[in-house]
Structure 1
Amino acid sequence: MTHVNSTSCKRRKRGGKVFGFKTFCDQGNPIDFNGPFRDNIKKLLDFAHSEITLNGGMKCWSFQLELDHHSPVHFSLFIIEELMETSVSCLCHHCQYIGWGHHLICNERFHFVLPSKETALVMTVSSPNYEDNEGLSNTMSGKQNFVELQGHLLHGVLHSDGFGHLICINGIEKGSDLPGKDLMDFWDRICTGLRARTVSVNDAAKKKNMDLRLIHGVAFGEPWFCRWGYRLLHGSYGVTQLMYQKAIEGLQSMPLFLLMQHFSASDYEILAIFNRYQTMSGHSLSTLGHLFCFLQEIKHRLPLDNHTAPVNNGKTDTETACRWSPKRIDMATKVIVEALKRAEFRWVSRQEVRDAARAYIGDTGLLDFVLKSLGNHIVGNFIVRRTVNPVTKVLEYCLEDISNTFCNQEGFPLSSTATKSRSQFTRNQLTNDMLYLYKYIFTEPRPTGLQSAISMATRIILEAKYLVKDYRGELYPKFAFGSEERLKLLCTVSLQNKDSSGHGSSEGNKKALPPYNVVSLPPHATFKELKLEVERSFKETYWGLKSLALSSVKDVDAKESDLVFGLLEAGSSLVFAGSITDRETNVKGIYESKNDSEVLGCPCGAKEDDDGEKLIKCDICEARQQNQCAPINNTEDVPHIFLCSRCEQDIILFPSLP
């Protein structure tokens, strides 16, 4: 994120208008958006500040945004136009992965970028709008273009036909002053205001090496992006919506007492974490879904940091390298635990614990080291709790007995209200506990029936990562009959081109029709004028239709001289038959995917042309399948000659020659 303080403001040339971050692209801010996307984006750029032309000839504009009038922090939004005429690659691999390979290639892509502090530097020092940058204008050299940089706080792309992709979003962990929620609100306002059609996202978000689509799925039954209306389109390796829903329901309904019985014999820390949050909860947490939902709910109520030491899961600080031997550390730990036992499980100050332990351990440095390492740590059948007394501000300790904890009717341990009220946790402690649960339950393989079921459900959820949001309901305004000064119609094109053999071949039958464009006409327009307006609209939108010629309107019997208004009502949907007159144009090459002739014959049942996973082709039938299903685990294992299972079986059954 570009942070602008009072000093850096002086370096930037004055005169640029500043817009509100939380209202940007709302209706009327900076303008009313009443047309289709290709018109709205032009209106928006009229209010932008023109920046330098990037490598590759891409034009760039910027907006200065502020969080509020009293904040000294400003943000820079860059909008970059990528023309297909000069682009390194006309194909959009995001379209291919999401299953939009049948879409026509558009004339432009518009990249919306909120840079991080690091990526903003590349743009800032090379901009002519900044002073004191002599000798820095070549910073962009060596970078193909600004949009290919990694680490932007937000990067989305919208094609000129209104379809688009959210490529990345990075919140506080990447140095932003804004959480991911605010960044998503910002992106959603842009798509809504500009009237995008449909936007996709590859949900690969992680936090502390945890896949958030798994965490949010178990907690809330859906991914995080679903809060903004995104829904699962398809998964990799043949994962369907039904498979995903069954996997979510299976993990959510997993009884915790069953997990406790499964894990308690091998890891007391799992039992301690279960007990810790049952203690904090005011109701019974009986399933895995209840537990993760509670963890997510309290995360936002906890402070980012306080004086309480972080929860230490797994290896403790006492196990790290230090000047005391493990034997002496273990002895000191037992002495401290025994001193806390004599306190009868009440909260005692650090000084009291230290004084009691000094009767047996004379090394005060060792005692201080162990006391510092024992906060919220399991020793045998006990948890050593540590917190700061809110009144005296003194560090206190308490011992909690896991083995004698009373269990409720669901078999889940419950602790006393007194202990509950004194147990204080930070967000960092919560994240550590969640990370421990994540690794132990979802990622560590164990040869048991329960773990096999968990692993299968986890794999299905992780493979369900392609989401879309449909903005079509917001794309076109309601058509007003009788009050419109111009007649608006919805029009699309069915291409009727011949193949290389000269036989008729309707590309419109093989590929889905392009989305309908809004065409606006005066009240007395003829069908000839309508045809010319539709040609112009599609030529301006799509890269491969520059020589488009329309012949007729399907299912409408009309002459070119007939008035449109006399035969059609406002808002009618029309399909025009057309063809590409330029014979040098490869009709199949005007689409995002060129793999229609290839077959995806994967054992997992995947039907999509390409979902972003690595593919290998059979050297006999040329059917493609995903490496993981081959199985091929890494690049080194790829064979020089690969046969699919069907061809391999056919060769085995083929009679040998005499």
Structure 2
Amino acid sequence: MSELDYIGCKKRKRGEGVLKFKGFCDQGYPVEFNGSFQENVRALLEIGQMETGLCDPMPIWSFQLEVHRHPLLHVFLFVVEEPIELSLTRGCKHCQYIGWGDHLICNKKYHFLLPSKDTVSACLSYEGSSAGINVTASNSIASKSNLIDLQGHTMHGVFHSNGFGHLLCINGEETGSDLAGFQIMDFWDRLCTGLRAREVSLRDLSQKQGMDLRLLHSMAYGKPWFGQWGYKFGRGSFGVTEPMYRSAIEALQNTPLGLFAHHLGNETNEILTILSRYQMLSGHILVTLGDMFHFMLELKSKLPKESNTESSHPGMLVDTSCRWSAKRIEMAIRVIIEALQRAEFRWISRQEVRDAARAYIGDTGLLDFVLKSLGNHIVGKYLVRRCLNPVTKVLEYCLEDISHAFPRRDGYSRLISTPDSKLKPRYKITWAQLMKDLLRLYKLILKENNAMSSTGILASIPIASRIILDTKLFIKDYSEESTSILDKSVLHCSIVLTSNTDRGSTNKAMITPYEFFMLRNTTTFDELKLEVERKFRDLYWGMRNFVAESLANLDAKGSDLVFKLIKAGTKIVFEGKISGESADICCMMFESFESNALVVDCICGTKIDDGERMVSCDICEVRQHTRCVHVSNIEEIPTIFLCNSCEQDILHFPSLP
């Protein structure tokens, strides 16, 4: 049983001070991070509290972090070191999914966890109970499930010892956590930056009230929610490529709102009412879907979450500077509305409306100003619809009576502010109402297989939405943000593993990422070679018998001083081999080794395992996505499944007599 009191947050046994959550892993806090990723992790763990019982026989450290004092809130960070010998599988499926299958298997992984109260309670109760547990020599595997295999952590990230990592999960306030999602991501980002991680991947399945955030935020901001921290397209599922992903985002963002006035079905009034509501709240014209969703999400961040409290915010007030008085603006609005009423609710061009209004208002500048501001706004019981005619490319206007779908308004709404502040309207909306409207727009416009947009000019919307939803794997390159080492005695080294096929013939098998070495000015190449062997043996499972033989493209003697022939900061490559092992063992050193036996050849174009559910052909054993072969759930998978190719081959067999 661990002696860690998670609930009570009692003082640490060895007297370590409680660390600040907000600044944890900033440079210099709690330690200086001046080495490689593995060296920085070791430096951090030296000040951690060693724990027992939580993940035996794997070593585990804990850090008590103060989130805030009033009210007092502490959380614990656990770091578990997982040696390759205790891993259930040597290869990493997350590396395979993101495209790092050609990386060498590392000797260690480091799990960074912010456990929830539920996962800690489950872990402690598991440790305290032996019922149903078969205590055998493989006890290490059973105990491993205590912590790092539990689901529901507030945060769980894992790093390979070479600095490549994966964020496996974050669970914010909606799951009962004391931390919000953005606080957890800020913390994770500081960890990666401070420890000098190389690259980090994640699988984005985040949702809020049934809405996929990667679709919602791509629509509003052109990037997923994780894009706020620099995560970008990593790999698409179902054959989605980065150009397809970018095109899908642009197509959705640039869809004109005016198109919905012509092409929606029975829900036309409902969706136009929602759109017009936020047109009124906005201080500028919202033209596209991207504009609308961006405004709604920005507004959501400014409203309090109290569901029963009405609030107004200065950002919701229309505050357009203009040189006309309120009386003249109201007169112009009235004249334009009456001109549109005479059109008997049919679409007429902007020029026709303008010409009709000029009989009463001679100031064309005022008319142009009001016409621009009235588009897709509510005036009294009417919605002034405006859109670009897709054929003539001319702006058109039309009135729609929405008194049955929207609360009645007496007189004309003052949509434009005037120099007299008393005339400014104060529209009020609650956070709950905004979320309701946002969810409704999401379902009506963006949800796949939506009947309203399945045909016609809006048919591209469900296609683009599906492409964005099929893009779940994102990646961030932290090496671009790493502070450069200012020491002048640094050298970057990599190794190439070679195998001798014939005498004098060398076959290069692999190259590793560069590691940096801080050297003395008197270091020789023989000393550097020994240091390179030590470091790469310590990093990679397959390199434990690695022997460095020579420098690629550099003729140097072992006794030569390194910095006499090479400038500091240079990248060099050592060639070498694995002593005493067959060259064929090289293939077993890669993260994707255990997946190479699975052949993927789906009709969507996917050639490697992307983490989506697949089914294997019973003849050729080629794997395909269940979605691509129209198998929606496990129950529908037939007893014998044949891919299309094998099925066609069978059909061409000669029939028996």
1:260 & 1:604 partners in 2: Cα distance? 35
Structural mapping, 1:67-86, within 5 Å: 67-68=67-68, 71-86=71-86
Structural mapping, 1:228-239, within 5 Å: 228-239=229-240
C-alpha distance after superposition, 1:502-551 (max 9, x if no partner): 9988462xx5x221111233322222222211111111111121111222
1:518 matches 2:516? yes
Letter in 1 for 2:463: M
How big is the shift at 1:462? 0.6
Is the Cα–Cα contact under 8 Å of residues 479 and 570 in structure 1 kept in the other structure?
no
Is the Cα–Cα contact under 8 Å of residues 50 and 62 in structure 2 kept in the other structure?
yes
2:6 & 2:214 partners in 1: Cα distance? 40
Task: Give SS of 1:161's match.
Answer: coil
Is the Cα–Cα contact under 8 Å of residues 248 and 461 in structure 1 kept in the other structure?
yes
1:406 matches 2:411? no
How big is the shift at 1:228? 1.1
1:633 matches 2:635? no
Is the Cα–Cα contact under 8 Å of residues 236 and 611 in structure 1 kept in the other structure?
yes
Q: Structure 1 residue runs of 4+, over 6 Å off? A: 4-7, 124-127, 136-143, 412-415, 501-505, 654-658
In structure 2, the residue matched to 1:494 is 496
Task: Give SS of 2:201's match.
Answer: strand
1:304 matches 2:308? no
How big is the shift at 1:616? 3.7
Structural mapping, 1:10-25, within 5 Å: 10=10, 13=13, 15-25=15-25
Is the Cα–Cα contact under 8 Å of residues 104 and 590 in structure 1 kept in the other structure?
yes
Q: Which runs of 5+ in 1 are unaligned?
A: 128-134, 311-399
In structure 2, the residue matched to 1:416 is 413
In structure 2, the residue matched to 1:452 is 459
In structure 1, the residue matched to 2:113 is 113
Is the Cα–Cα contact under 8 Å of residues 116 and 154 in structure 2 kept in the other structure?
yes
C-alpha distance after superposition, 1:590-643 (max 9, x if no partner): 211024466543222234x22101334455655443332234333344455555
How big is the shift at 1:407? 3.6
Is the Cα–Cα contact under 8 Å of residues 496 and 506 in structure 1 kept in the other structure?
yes
In structure 1, the residue matched to 2:374 is none
2:211 & 2:398 partners in 1: Cα distance? 26
Task: Give SS of 1:569's match.
Answer: coil
Task: Give SS of 2:564's match.
Answer: helix
Task: Give SS of 2:85's match.
Answer: coil
> How many matched pairs?
549
Is the Cα–Cα contact under 8 Å of residues 61 and 78 in structure 2 kept in the other structure?
yes
C-alpha distance after superposition, 1:128-185 (max 9, x if no partner): xxxxxxx679999887231221111111111100000111112221223332112111
How big is the shift at 1:465? 1.6
How big is the shift at 1:309? 8.8
Q: 1:428 and 1:477, CA in 2 relative to 1: closer, same or farther beyond 3 A?
A: same
Q: 1:514 and 1:475, CA in 2 relative to 1: closer, same or farther beyond 3 A?
A: farther
In structure 2, the residue matched to 1:529 is 527
In structure 2, the residue matched to 1:281 is 282
Letter in 1 for 2:278: Y
In structure 2, the residue matched to 1:166 is 167
Is the Cα–Cα contact under 8 Å of residues 256 and 412 in structure 1 kept in the other structure?
no
Is the Cα–Cα contact under 8 Å of residues 380 and 413 in structure 2 kept in the other structure?
no
Is the Cα–Cα contact under 8 Å of residues 169 and 180 in structure 1 kept in the other structure?
yes
In structure 1, the residue matched to 2:610 is 611
Q: 1:413 and 1:597, CA in 2 relative to 1: closer, same or farther beyond 3 A?
A: farther
In structure 1, the residue matched to 2:446 is 442
How big is the shift at 1:235? 0.5
Q: 1:412 and 1:68, CA in 2 relative to 1: closer, same or farther beyond 3 A?
A: farther
Is the Cα–Cα contact under 8 Å of residues 34 and 485 in structure 2 kept in the other structure?
no
In structure 1, the residue matched to 2:200 is 199
How big is the shift at 1:468? 0.7
In structure 1, the residue matched to 2:480 is 473
Task: Give SS of 2:305's match.
Answer: coil
Q: 1:278 and 1:476, CA in 2 relative to 1: closer, same or farther beyond 3 A?
A: closer
1:100 matches 2:100? yes
2:24 & 2:132 partners in 1: Cα distance? 30
Structural mapping, 1:112-151, within 5 Å: 112-122=112-122, 144-151=145-152
1:430 matches 2:434? yes
2:41 & 2:132 partners in 1: Cα distance? 29
In structure 2, the residue matched to 1:391 is none
Is the Cα–Cα contact under 8 Å of residues 55 and 143 in structure 2 kept in the other structure?
no
Q: 1:646 and 1:7, CA in 2 relative to 1: closer, same or farther beyond 3 A?
A: closer
Task: Give SS of 2:609's match.
Answer: coil
Is the Cα–Cα contact under 8 Å of residues 239 and 605 in structure 2 kept in the other structure?
yes
How big is the shift at 1:205? 0.7
Structural mapping, 1:3-82, within 5 Å: 8-10=8-10, 13=13, 15-55=15-55, 57-68=57-68, 71-82=71-82
1:118 & 1:453 partners in 2: Cα distance? 44
2:592 & 2:505 partners in 1: Cα distance? 22
Q: 1:264 and 1:494, CA in 2 relative to 1: closer, same or farther beyond 3 A?
A: same
Letter in 2 for 1:557: D
Task: Give the stretch that moved more between structures: 586-595 or 636-645.
Answer: 636-645
Q: 1:116 and 1:420, CA in 2 relative to 1: closer, same or farther beyond 3 A?
A: farther
Q: Give the percent of matched residue pairs that are identical in Structure 1 and Structure 2.
A: 46
Is the Cα–Cα contact under 8 Å of residues 195 and 475 in structure 1 kept in the other structure?
yes
1:436 & 1:109 partners in 2: Cα distance? 44
1:587 & 1:94 partners in 2: Cα distance? 21
How big is the shift at 1:122? 3.7
C-alpha distance after superposition, 1:284-338 (max 9, x if no partner): 222111110011100011110143599xxxxxxxxxxxxxxxxxxxxxxxxxxxx
Is the Cα–Cα contact under 8 Å of residues 382 and 399 in structure 2 kept in the other structure?
no
2:399 & 2:485 partners in 1: Cα distance? 58
1:449 & 1:582 partners in 2: Cα distance? 67
1:463 matches 2:470? yes
How big is the shift at 1:31? 1.4
2:88 & 2:613 partners in 1: Cα distance? 22
Is the Cα–Cα contact under 8 Å of residues 253 and 289 in structure 1 kept in the other structure?
yes
Q: 1:541 and 1:142, CA in 2 relative to 1: closer, same or farther beyond 3 A?
A: closer
Is the Cα–Cα contact under 8 Å of residues 125 and 139 in structure 1 kept in the other structure?
no
Task: Give SS of 1:185's match.
Answer: helix
Task: Give SS of 1:31's match.
Answer: coil
In structure 2, the residue matched to 1:566 is 564
Is the Cα–Cα contact under 8 Å of residues 103 and 592 in structure 1 kept in the other structure?
yes
2:517 & 2:398 partners in 1: Cα distance? 64
Q: 1:139 and 1:21, CA in 2 relative to 1: closer, same or farther beyond 3 A?
A: farther
In structure 1, the residue matched to 2:587 is 588
1:144 & 1:159 partners in 2: Cα distance? 19
In structure 1, the residue matched to 2:552 is 554
Letter in 2 for 1:494: V
Is the Cα–Cα contact under 8 Å of residues 35 and 476 in structure 1 kept in the other structure?
no
1:529 & 1:639 partners in 2: Cα distance? 63
1:596 & 1:493 partners in 2: Cα distance? 24
Q: 1:583 and 1:455, CA in 2 relative to 1: closer, same or farther beyond 3 A?
A: same
Task: Give the stretch that moved more between structures: 413-422 or 168-177.
Answer: 413-422
Is the Cα–Cα contact under 8 Å of residues 56 and 87 in structure 1 kept in the other structure?
no
Q: Which runs of 5+ in 2 are unaligned?
A: 134-141, 312-377, 389-396, 401-411, 416-422
In structure 1, the residue matched to 2:353 is none
- Calculate the aligned-residue CA RMSD, in Å: 3.5
Task: Give SS of 1:628's match.
Answer: coil
Is the Cα–Cα contact under 8 Å of residues 5 and 72 in structure 1 kept in the other structure?
no
Letter in 1 for 2:191: I
Task: Give SS of 1:201's match.
Answer: strand
1:613 & 1:275 partners in 2: Cα distance? 40
Is the Cα–Cα contact under 8 Å of residues 307 and 431 in structure 2 kept in the other structure?
no
2:209 & 2:398 partners in 1: Cα distance? 28
In structure 1, the residue matched to 2:221 is 220
